[in-house]
Amino acid sequence: MRADPNPHGATASGSGASGAGAAGAGAPGAPLQKPSGWQRGDAPQRLAQTALRDVPWEVGVAKPDPAIVVDGVTRTFGGLTAVAVDHLEVQRGGITGLIGPNGAGKTTLFNLLTGFDQPNTGSWEFDGRPLGKLAPHQVARLGVVRTFQLTKALSRLTVLQNMLLGAQGQRGESFWRALVPGTWKSQEQANTEKAMDLLRRFKLDAKKDDFAGTLSGGQRKLLEMARALMSDPKVVMLDEPMAGVNPALTQSLLGHVKDLREEGMTVIFVEHDMDVVRDISDWVVVMAAGRVIAEGPPESISQNQAVVDAYLGAHHDAPLTVEEEDQVLAQAEREIAREEHGGGDVLRSDTTTGKGER
Ligand SMILES: Nc1ncnc2c1ncn2[C@@H]1O[C@H](COP(=O)(O)OP(=O)(O)O)[C@@H](O)[C@H]1O
Ligand SMILES: [Mg+2]
């Protein structure tokens, strides 16, 4: 094994890490190898990576400038401990890859941090501000948004309507409105312009009047990321943005994730493909059985014994099944039906006359 590049020395969690296996091995902060053909985000700021260079590879380690700080968060379901995170800090302006075997608690942690679920214990902060008691739309309004492992693009709304969803009215308790917080009726025109700008950026503008249900899985992921950006977030949590995306769109999605960092956002993303994780993460957090079992730069992770053990015999998340996708969409349509009864303006436009088509 090579000398540990970590100047503070490896720790219990990082003791198996040697830094081998990545282009940056032995030279913390050096750019990692990019897949060939890479075009976008080739020259990321890497500010976070530089800032993290001297941070020990220890679970719960303090970061130089944390945007998110988690303390003692636990969530149990019956007898199962889905999340038990003692302390976790997420560096501002970086891309933090959150990895771990299926059932590790990654999605549940996202749910908790963004107000979509309530913990049994614990607290967490964004920029020093406690978020624990806030509803999703309040969390989002403060600048912390997320996307979903199972895409929430609503199939029988148009692409543009999906973007504007929640942009009208302030009944923020609604799950769907929480996805695009902080915008109101008087801003309708501005919202539309902003939505179109984002759709152009994600190359979905030509599809603005298409039903989201006609998009490919990858395009839905792009739509969901575009929608998350409607509220100018500061922290974006992406739950498996690449899952189910065909290879042609993967590079494009990756580029968009890097672009978020370029714009100064803090990104936390769940991903299973270690090549992808190595490529774009400034820091990697590994969960297993609800706990953080390792953290460090990407090159520290693959040879970490605790990580290897956690993955041995563990199954990676299976790709979404058609049934799962349909269940989510059916639930979404029930939500929309309720919103329509409530008179949600965004749903009243020419293009919704095809409702019931699905
Ligand atoms: N609503 C729920 N009810 C019961 N168990 C749940 C619920 N949500 C998640 N779990 C369980 O919590 C654990 C963590 O799940 P999850 O956060 O989805 O893991 P990951 O996203 O890392 O695959 C799993 O064992 C899962 O079955
Ligand atoms: Mg998950």
| Residue extents of the structural domains in the chain | 12-153+215-312, 322-357
Q: What is the DSSP letter of 158?
A: B
Q: What is the distance in A from the centroid of ligand 1 to the CA of 289?
A: 10
Q: What is the distance in A from the centroid of ligand 2 to the CA of 149?
A: 6
The SS3 call for residue 202 is: coil
- pLDDT of 234: 95
Give the up-direction half-sphere exposure of residue 12: CA atoms within 13 A in the CB hemisphere: 5
Q: What is the distance in A from the centroid of ligand 2 to the CA of 206?
A: 31
Q: Which ligand is nearest to the CA of 117?
A: 1
Contact indicator for 158, 211 with CB cutoff of 8 Å: yes
- pLDDT of 176: 55
> Which atom of ligand 1 is closest in space to residue 105's alpha carbon?
17
Single-letter code of the amino acid located at 258:
K
Q: Mean pLDDT by 10-residue block, N- to C-terminus, for the chain (358 residues)?
A: 39 37 37 40 63 93 96 96 98 96 95 95 96 90 87 80 63 50 60 92 94 89 90 93 83 91 95 89 96 94 83 55 67 64 42 35
d(CA 294, CA 99): 10
As given in the structure block, the two tokens for residue 217 are 């899985």
Q: What's the predicted TM-score (pTM) here? A: 0.74
Superfamily of domain 12-153+215-312, CATH level 4: P-loop containing nucleotide triphosphate hydrolases (3.40.50.300)
- The residue nearest atom 3 of ligand 1, judged by CA position, is 77
Contact indicator for 188, 161 with CB cutoff of 8 Å: no
Q: What is the distance in A from the centroid of ligand 1 to the CA of 315?
A: 14
Q: How far apart are the first and last CA of the chain?
A: 57
Residue of 108, 118, 331 with the most ligand 1 atoms within 8 Å of its CB, for mutation: 108
- pLDDT of 243: 84
- pLDDT of 325: 65
Q: What is the DSSP letter of 275?
A: H
- pLDDT of 19: 36
Contact indicator for 240, 272 with CB cutoff of 8 Å: yes
- What is the CB < 6 Å shell around ligand 1? 77, 80, 82, 100, 102-108, 317
- pLDDT of 321: 62
- pLDDT of 332: 65
> Which atom of ligand 1 is closest in space to residue 83's alpha carbon?
14
